[in-house]
Amino acid sequence: MSAPQTIYDIATRAGVGIATVSRVLNGSSKVGPQTRRRVELAMRELDYRPNRAARRLATGGPNRPRVAALMPFFSASFYYAISRPLASGLSAADIDLVLCNVASRTDKQRFLDRIVAERSAEGVVLGSMGIGPDRHAELRRLGIPVVSIEFPLPGIPTVSVDNLKGGALAARHLVAGGAKRLGFIGGPVLAIPFRLREDGFRSVAGDDAPIERAAEVSPAAGAKATAALIQADPTIDGVVCVNDLLAVGALEELARRKRRVPEDVQVIGFDDLPLMDVLGLTTVRQPMSEFGDWAARAIAARIAQPSVAVASQELGLTLIPRRTSRTAAKTRKRQVR
Amino acid sequence: MSAPQTIYDIATRAGVGIATVSRVLNGSSKVGPQTRRRVELAMRELDYRPNRAARRLATGGPNRPRVAALMPFFSASFYYAISRPLASGLSAADIDLVLCNVASRTDKQRFLDRIVAERSAEGVVLGSMGIGPDRHAELRRLGIPVVSIEFPLPGIPTVSVDNLKGGALAARHLVAGGAKRLGFIGGPVLAIPFRLREDGFRSVAGDDAPIERAAEVSPAAGAKATAALIQADPTIDGVVCVNDLLAVGALEELARRKRRVPEDVQVIGFDDLPLMDVLGLTTVRQPMSEFGDWAARAIAARIAQPSVAVASQELGLTLIPRRTSRTAAKTRKRQVR
DNA sequence: CTGTTAGCGCATTCAA
DNA sequence: TTGAATGCGCTAACAG
């Protein structure tokens, strides 16, 4: 590719003034057809492309802020549920949302590098991921506020739930339903929330309870982990899953093995994703849409008033009993915190 | 709010030079603490916010294009499935993706107004929605390319499927499974694809086949429509749904009425959303991720080479037989087109 | 450590 | 219809 051309280059090339170039650029009708053709030709020949920043500066257009949302967006519909209110909230605050689908650690760094190098965002929303203290310092130096969803970071406003308590809640629910031997299906260990739920589970099921960690979060992985769990201990009659998708896989595997749910084995998930009601999965519901709402409000506030701090918030978890667990004496929804 | 301030304003206010202001703005360490405080104070008092365009112009940073994706993003996970590859594809092409969640007609106009007024995007991706010819002309005058997903528009490259054929395919599948009396659950009439599927259905089920149109696309609406359908004609033994979510609702309603699926009533959906395999729903699969891939490639190409046209493309539909339909003599996946 | 000066690329007067 | 000159708000040398 050629080096960036300017209207001067193409004006010279076409033998006209820059004003004329600008005119054809903006589709002004006050340009002779002859001239227009010459200019258009020159633009094509030089592979010219207008500089956005210059245009906006010149036109004095509004200076709408942009926030970059970094999330492993498409790994689970969890983020979908968060993005919806996030997008709406930001839109209402007249802020543009730039989606950054983070699929790997390098992805994340690439996006962040860009943001600081080009100052291409006035705010950053982190979904389920952290940033190093150096990076944080850099962003704060540049005055780019950051808020986090589901990933507590020192000095960064965060919205989260008590995952430790949530894991315990799930385990206790199955125990209340009569489960004697609990197993746990975890997720990738790097995910802090997953680890906390696991710890919570342990706190009630004991340290010797069998645990399987799925490498990825999908029904297939959940099925595989379930098989491993049963192999490890055939007497298991309660499976706590770190996430709904995994739980769905557990259900599939159990059906395949002709184990009745919840009679033989109870299953509980985490999140309460869309369609889980249809599937009848008992789960611990996360307030996903509130996550998005909060993030939108928080980042908008930080951008509007950099000087006033916004406080982190911990939201409540709700146990949603459905068909995959036994309800001892009419268990109802139970609010935690 | 106050009128936009510049660094000159705050420089004057703080009694320093603009360079110093710029320095504190960028977190340069070469500023006396005393001076810095004065500048920061002035900035706060005047509610100063830097002009992004000017910064970028001055720094000569890369001129990354942005494309605005206008979709009813969060109404169905259908768009989620499309956005994923769209985001990845654009990211690979070094293009920013700005999400525009269009919830209403006015929303759409607002976003488009902005784009033309502020030239805030170098490309537009339309998801399941059209634009008027005047708007189209305006965009083309400004040299902002547009591509469309699932909504054929004259003069605009579009990726789509043959919905007419798809509707017929679904109906024929149920007939092949032995259905004698077919009913149809449609969606909002304004949606062209929905209407086409309905027409396709009609072409095989006949004009007198009962049809219910759900006002919104959700399991609840599907259940309601199913009830109405059965009320209209209790002998119905095959339900073709314009969309999977509606089909899920149909399944629920049928279960509630103790009608066996597929023995008493067969059900087929459209899309093949995530988890439909788990639910065992027979459906007509749309190549959603290919939609996103195509859109990313198409808009990137248009932006890179405005002079070369890109052709519309029609993708294939696949029938996915599962547990909610009867397979006469081992029906296999059938590719169309 | 701080101020002065000169562009960045473009839209837009104002004359011609 | 066209061109020359001016400024958008900011960063980055360059002096002091």
Give pLDDT, residue A26: 81
Please determine, for residue B329, whether its predicted confidence score (pLDDT) is greater than 60: no
Does residue A32 approach strand D to less than 7 Å at its CB? yes
Does B202 reside within a domain?
yes
User: Residue B299 contacts by C-beta under 8 Å, 6 or more apart in sequence?
Assistant: B67, B90, B95, B123, B124, B125, B145, B147
Measured in degrees and rounded to the nearest 5, phi and psi for residue B12 equal -60, -50
Does A53 reside within a domain?
no
How far is B147 from B150, CA to CA, in rounded Å?
10
CB contact under 8 A, B52 and A62: no
How far is B76 from B78, CA to CA, in rounded Å?
5
Residues A331 and A223 in one domain: yes
How far is A285 from A322, CA to CA, in rounded Å?
12
pLDDT confidence of A331, banded at 50, 70, 90?
very low
Give pLDDT, residue A3: 67
Does A1 reside within a domain?
no
Residue A295: CATH number of its domain: 3.40.50.2300
Please determine, for residue B96, whether its predicted confidence score (pLDDT) is greater than 80: yes
List chain D nucleotides near protein: any atom < 7 Å from a Cβ: 1-5, 7-14
CB contact under 8 A, B59 and A118: yes
Residues A134 and A213 in one domain: no
- Work out the mean pLDDT of chain B and round it to a whole number: 90
Residues A151 and A296 in one domain: yes
Residues B95 and B109 in one domain: yes
Residues B200 and B95 in one domain: no
Q: Cβ within 7 Å of strand D: which of B 34-73?
A: 50-51, 54-55, 57-59
Does B53 reside within a domain?
no
Give pLDDT, residue A287: 97
Mean pLDDT, rounded, for A139-168: 94
> A26: which DSSP letter?
T
Asked whether A313 and A161 are in contact (CB, 8 A), the reply is no
Give pLDDT, residue B332: 45
Does A212 reside within a domain?
yes
Does A94 reside within a domain?
yes
- Work out the mean pLDDT of chain A and round it to a whole number: 90
B42-93 pLDDT, tens digit per residue, is 888 888 888 888 988 888 777 788 999 999 865 568 888 899 899 999 999 9
Residues B157 and B174 in one domain: no
Please determine, for residue A75, whether its predicted confidence score (pLDDT) is greater than 70: no
Token pair 């599948």 in the structure block, residue: B173
Question: Mind giving me the DSSP string for B184-225?
Answer: EEE--TT-HHHHHHHHHHHHHH-TTS-EEE-SS-SHHHHHHH
Residues B277 and B174 in one domain: yes
Residues A261 and A147 in one domain: no
Measured in degrees and rounded to the nearest 5, phi and psi for residue B265 equal -135, 130
Task: Count how many Cα atoms sit within 13 Å of the Cα of residue A177 in the half-sphere of its side chain.
Answer: 31
Give pLDDT, residue B166: 98
3-state secondary structure (DSSP) of residue B78: helix
Residue A25: CATH number of its domain: 1.10.260.40
Q: Which two tokens stand for residue A9?
A: 């280059």
Does B235 reside within a domain?
yes
B154-172 pLDDT, tens digit per residue, is 999 999 999 999 999 999 9
pLDDT confidence of A337, banded at 50, 70, 90?
very low
Give pLDDT, residue B74: 55
Residues A294 and A279 in one domain: no
Q: How many domains, chain B? A: 3
Q: Which two tokens stand for residue B4?
A: 């936009």
Residues A28 and A69 in one domain: no
A18-66 pLDDT, tens digit per residue, is 999 999 888 777 788 888 888 888 888 888 888 888 988 888 777 788 9
Give pLDDT, residue A124: 96
Please determine, for residue B334, whether its predicted confidence score (pLDDT) is greater than 60: no
Residues A296 and A153 in one domain: yes
Question: Mind giving me the DSSP string for A46-112?
Answer: TT----HHHHHHHHT-----EEEEEE-GGG-HHHHHHHHHHHHHHHHTT-EEEEEE--SHHHHHHHH
Distance A100 CA to C12 C1' (A): 37
How far is B31 from B24, CA to CA, in rounded Å?
7
How far is A320 from A335, CA to CA, in rounded Å?
10
Domain span at A325: 163-285+318-335
Best of A45, A73, A101 to mutate (most B CBs within 10 Å, chain B): A101
A234-282 pLDDT, tens digit per residue, is 999 999 999 999 999 999 999 999 999 999 999 999 999 999 999 999 9
Using alpha carbons, list the distances in angstroms from residue A174 to A178, A182, A258, A324, B251: 7, 8, 20, 10, 29
B222-234 pLDDT, tens digit per residue, is 999 999 999 999 9
Does B2 reside within a domain?
no
Residues B70 and B172 in one domain: no
Of all nucleotides, the one whose C1′ comes closest to residue A57's CA is D8
Tell me the sheet residues that pair with B101. B71
Distance A15 CA to C4 C1' (A): 36
Give pLDDT, residue B331: 43
User: Residue B90 contacts by C-beta under 8 Å, 6 or more apart in sequence?
Assistant: B67, B96, B97, B296, B299, B300
Measured in degrees and rounded to the nearest 5, phi and psi for residue A207 equal -75, -15
